[in-house]
Every structure is written in structure tokens, then in C-alpha cells.
């Protein structure tokens, strides 16, 4: 059961209590939903508060974490989101369109007054239901921060979205439910609207980072960076580098560099580009060799390299990409990158070797499968993040955090990928599906799917929790957003 503090005085007292509690902990946003729940429990225990107030307190703790960031964002980059249930349902003459309520500002409810206050500061205002539309405005870079009013039920649904997308935001719970003729503490909204810090924050646009990375993987640029395409091996190598794929690894490398260095305007040294191309060389080489070892004949909806050129030539093309990757890294000033890649290369080979050693029908436990994931999938993410940190002159503490993050993210990613094999009764691949079938031959596909989904959710939570020790707001924001996109593929 969830409750809202009964009186205005009590709500104000508890808000101050929650904000002071957060301030004392010097928390850097974003924070995970799990961390917010832990903070709410700690606050309740510390001050012997009613546990039924937990969800309401969680919202105010979230506000306390984000308020300094929201205050640093220019007014014109903020949005005040109000629910239409604040209107007087009997007398309202406003019309609804695709965006929300077209308020006539007749003065019969609190909506016009709040919108006029927003106008005074140059804050955009919108009367609409839910935070889904806000997420889209954030994605389209129309606004950078939101001050939103909603009922606790709606906030419960919206919070995972706000947290996973690392949206700088403040949420104000309505004082009642019912979705009709509701009320809010308007003085609290009025108190939050003008908040402004001396430091102005301009959020990085990671779509622009993606655009820069895409420019690096054009034929024009790769022709200058890779071994010149003069024969069948080099032409096939270039063609494979230009083929499909998400290019998550070079993007993460570039985005980490940008998050740490905050270049204005957005620009990247040539060495960052070369490191990013090198990371993709290693990734594409591993795919060529994986396809040969797994006898896969199609990738990206097209014939694999060995299906097109033959197995021997496929091996050679993969080896050329490895050589190009090491050649690019050796041209960089930070030689530590070569060691990072080399260690990851060894780990990947050990993981692939363990995978090849398993044959259909052999025993393989879920722990064995997770260890293979640690050796094969985790290094692919960690290398990109580590090289981004090294390119930016990052520190060892950040590298340690990113190691733990990469492990959790990589395992969650592979577990989600394994769910694709749920209907394959005869897979010889040592996947989580295969391991759970061997563990319990009577388990149904639904049983296995639920177990893998729960395990993936657990590692997803671990990935976000591991970011608590990162001090950089932009780096945390990037990784929260990247986690959501990578694990919602």
C-alpha cells in the first residue's frame, strides 16, 4: 500500500528531509532504480518513517539527486509537464490534440497559473498524460530536462524510463488520485521552476557522436586508414568493414572520450578515430573467424565472408583485419592500448576455445556458460570503454569501475541474445538455454525463458549499480543510456 503525506506541512517537512539526506551523501546523478529503493529504505529506517510513504519518498529522493543538475540547465531547455487531470472537469473549455490539452487559460484551475510562471522564465510547458512523450522530446533534443507533475501510479510506470534514459528531471506527485479534478502543491512547483545555478550545463548530444563515428566508416576514410585495397584480400577486408553491424564498440570509445573531455565544439583527434577503427577491425575479424568455426553461412542477411570467398581465404581476411588493428594501435602515442587489446584478444580466444570444446550432449552448467561469456563477450565492451578512457587520459579508478560494468553488461547482453535459441531443441552451442535444458530435462521453454530473463535482469541491475562510483555526470549519463539501448535490442 502506498500513501501520500496527508498535510501540506508534512509533505514540505519530508521533502526537506529527503533532500538533506541526499545532499549529505553527495550523490552524482544518474542513480539506478535499485539504489533509489535502497536510499528510501535507509531514510525510512533512519527517521522511523511510515513504510507506506516509501514510493512517495523515493520520488523526492530522486528529485534531491537531480535538482542541482536541472538547475544548471538553461530555462529554455526545460519542460514543465502537467497532467490534464488538474483541470476543472466540469467547466474546462480546453481541447485535446495529439500533443495534449490546448488550455484557454481561463483561470478556473491551477494549470494557467503554472503555465504563466513557466512562461515567465522561458520554460516550455505542456499539458499531457504520462512521460512517454517527454522521453521522445529528450531524444529529439527539443529539451534537456523536465519538471513533471503526475500521480504516483503514473510515476511508478514512468520511473524506469526516466532512470534508464538518465533524464535530468524532477517529479512532483499529485496529492490525490482518481485521474479527475486532482490537486498538487503549487507552491512547490513554483519553488522549483526558477531554480538556477551559477554553472550552466550543456548536455552532450550523443547522436552527433554517432554521426562522427559513421563518417569514420565511409569508404573514403577507411581506404586511407586500412591497408590499401589492391587485391582480393584487401578488397574483401574493406568490403567487410563497410558491411552492416551496430558499430557499438567504436561509438562507445568515442562517446567515452567525449564524455570525459567535453570538447566544444564536438571534435575528435585523429588518434581517437584510429583507435575506434582498430576496435572495429578486431570485432569484424572475430566475426569472420566465429562464422568459420560455427559454420554459419549468413550474417547481416548476406553470405558470410567464408561462404563467399572460401574457408582459407576467410581465415586470411580475418587475420589481415587483426594485423590492421594492431598496426593502427601501434601508430598511437599511448602504447598501453596495445596491451589492453592483446589481453582481450587472448581472453576471447580462450572463451572461443572453451565453446568449441563443448559438443552436443556433453554436460555444461550455467556457471560454465557465464564464464565463457566473461571471456568472449565482456572483453568486446571493456576494450572499447578502456580505450576511450585511455584516449581521454582517464584514471585507473574509472577503468576499474568500467571493468565491473562491462562484465555485468556483457553477460546481460549475451543472456538476452541466447533467448533467440529458445525454440532450438538441438543447439550444440553452450548457451544458457543449452545449460538449463541439461540441468532439467523436464523444463518447458517458458520455464527456461523465465529463468534466463530473470538472470539477464539481475546482470542488467548489476551493470547500473556498478556505475555508482563514477564521478563524471556525462560519463554516467552516457553509460545509463547505452545500457538501455544495448539491452533493448
**Domain ranges within the chain, ordered by starting residue:** 8-192, 206-486
Flag whether pLDDT at 422 surpasses 80: no
Task: Single out the residue of 31, 83, 34 nearest to residue 62, CA to CA.
Answer: 31
Mean pLDDT of 226-230: 95
Asked if 126 and 82 touch (Cβ cutoff 8 Å), the reply is: yes
Task: Single out the residue of 335, 146, 480 nearest to residue 155, CA to CA.
Answer: 146
Identify the three-state secondary structure at position 124: strand
Q: Which residues contact 485 (CB under 8 A, 6 or more apart)?
A: none
Burial of 442 (0-12, 13-18, 19+ CB in 10 A): exposed
Work out the pLDDT band at 4, boundaries 50, 70, 90: very high
List C-alpha distances in Å: 130 to 84, 100, 151, 178, 382. 10, 10, 9, 15, 36
List, in sequence order, every residue forming a beta bridge with 149; answer none if it has no partner.
172
199-227: burial string, b at 16+ Cβ within 10 Å, e else:
eebebbebeebeebbeebbeeeebeebbb
CA distance 112 to 186: 12
Choose between 422 and 3: higher pLDDT: 3
DSSP, res 125? E
Asked if 151 and 130 touch (Cβ cutoff 8 Å), the reply is: no
pLDDT at position 428:
55
E strand or H helix at 169: strand 169-173
Mean pLDDT of 347-374: 83
Tell me the pLDDT tens digit for each residue of 194-225: 999 988 988 999 999 999 999 999 999 999 99
Tell me the pLDDT tens digit for each residue of 69-78: 999 999 999 9
According to CATH, what is the number of the domain 206-486? Answer: 1.10.600.10
List C-alpha distances in Å: 150 to 94, 157, 255, 417, 447. 19, 11, 33, 36, 37
In whole numbers, what is the pLDDT of the chain averaged over residues?
Answer: 90
Q: What is the CA radius of gyration of the chain?
A: 26
CA distance 290 to 107: 67
pLDDT at position 360:
53
Cell 485521474 found at: 179
CA distance 196 to 360: 63
Flag whether pLDDT at 114 surpasses 80: yes
Amino acid at each position: 500500500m502506498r500513501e501520500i503525506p496527508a498535510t501540506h506541512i508534512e509533505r514540505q517537512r519530508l521533502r526537506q528531509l529527503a533532500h538533506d539526506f541526499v545532499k549529505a551523501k553527495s550523490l552524482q546523478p544518474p542513480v539506478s532504480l535499485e539504489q533509489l529503493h535502497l536510499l528510501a529504505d535507509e531514510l525510512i529506517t533512519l527517521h522511523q518513517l511510515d513504510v507506506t510513504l516509501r514510493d512517495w519518498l523515493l520520488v523526492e529522493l530522486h528529485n534531491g539527486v537531480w535538482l542541482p543538475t536541472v538547475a544548471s540547465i538553461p530555462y529554455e531547455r526545460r519542460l514543465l509537464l502537467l497532467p490534464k487531470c488538474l483541470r476543472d472537469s466540469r467547466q474546462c473549455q480546453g481541447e485535446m490534440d495529439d500533443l495534449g490539452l490546448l488550455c484557454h487559460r481561463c483561470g478556473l484551475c491551477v494549470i494557467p497559473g503554472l503555465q504563466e510562471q513557466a512562461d515567465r522564465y522561458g520554460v516550455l510547458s505542456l499539458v499531457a498524460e504520462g512521460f512517454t512523450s517527454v522521453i521522445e522530446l529528450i531524444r529529439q533534443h527539443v529539451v534537456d530536462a523536465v519538471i513533471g507533475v503526475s500521480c504516483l501510479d503514473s510515476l511508478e510506470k514512468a520511473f524506469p524510463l526516466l532512470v534508464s534514459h538518465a533524464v535530468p528531471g524532477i517529479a512532483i506527485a499529485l496529492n490525490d488520485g482518481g485521474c479527475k479534478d486532482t490537486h498538487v502543491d503549487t507552491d512547490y512547483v513554483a519553488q522549483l521552476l526558477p531554480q538556477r545555478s551559477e554553472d550552466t550545463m550543456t548536455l552532450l548530444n550523443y547522436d552527433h557522436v554517432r554521426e562522427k563515428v559513421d563518417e569514420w566508416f565511409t569508404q573514403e576514410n577507411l581506404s586511407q586508414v586500412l591497408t590499401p585495397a589492391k587485391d582480393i584480400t584487401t578488397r574483401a577486408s574493406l568490403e567487410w568493414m563497410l558491411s552492416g553491424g551496430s558499430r557499438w564498440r567504436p561509438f562507445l570509445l568515442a562517446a567515452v572520450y567525449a564524455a570525459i573531455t567535453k570538447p566544444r565544439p564536438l571534435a575528435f583527434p585523429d588518434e581517437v578515430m584510429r583507435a575506434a577503427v582498430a576496435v572495429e577491425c578486431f570485432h569484424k575479424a572475430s566475426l569472420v573467424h566465429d562464422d568459420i568455426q560455427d559454420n554459419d553461412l549468413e550474417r547481416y542477411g548476406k553470405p558470410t565472408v567464408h561462404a563467399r570467398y572460401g574457408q582459407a581465404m576467410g581465415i586470411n581476411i580475418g587475420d589481415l583485419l587483426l594485423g590492421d588493428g594492431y598496426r593502427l594501435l601501434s601508430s598511437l602515442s599511448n602504447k598501453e592500448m596495445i596491451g589492453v587489446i592483446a589481453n582481450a584478444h587472448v581472453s576471447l580466444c580462450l572463451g572461443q576455445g572453451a565453446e568449441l570444446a563443448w559438443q552436443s550432449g556433453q554436460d555444461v552448467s550455467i556457471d560454465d556458460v557465464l564464464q565463457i561469456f566473461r571471456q568472449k563477450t565482456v572483453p568486446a565492451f571493456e576494450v572499447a570503454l578502456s580505450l576511450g578512457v585511455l584516449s581521454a587520459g582517464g584514471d585507473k579508478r574509472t577503468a576499474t569501475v568500467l571493468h565491473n560494468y562491462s562484465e555485468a553488461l556483457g553477460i546481460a547482453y549475451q543472456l538476452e541474445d541466447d533467448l533467440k535459441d529458445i525454440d532450438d531443441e538441438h543447439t550444440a552451442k553452450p548457451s544458457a538455454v543449452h545449460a538449463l535444458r541439461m540441468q532439467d530435462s523436464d523444463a518447458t521453454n517458458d520455464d527456461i525463458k523465465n529463468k534466463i530473463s530473470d538472470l539477464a535482469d539481475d546482470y542488467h541491475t548489476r551493470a547500473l549499480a556498478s556505475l555508482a562510483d563514477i564521478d563524471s555526470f556525462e560519463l554516467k549519463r552516457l553509460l545509463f543510456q547505452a545500457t538501455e539501448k544495448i539491452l533493448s535490442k
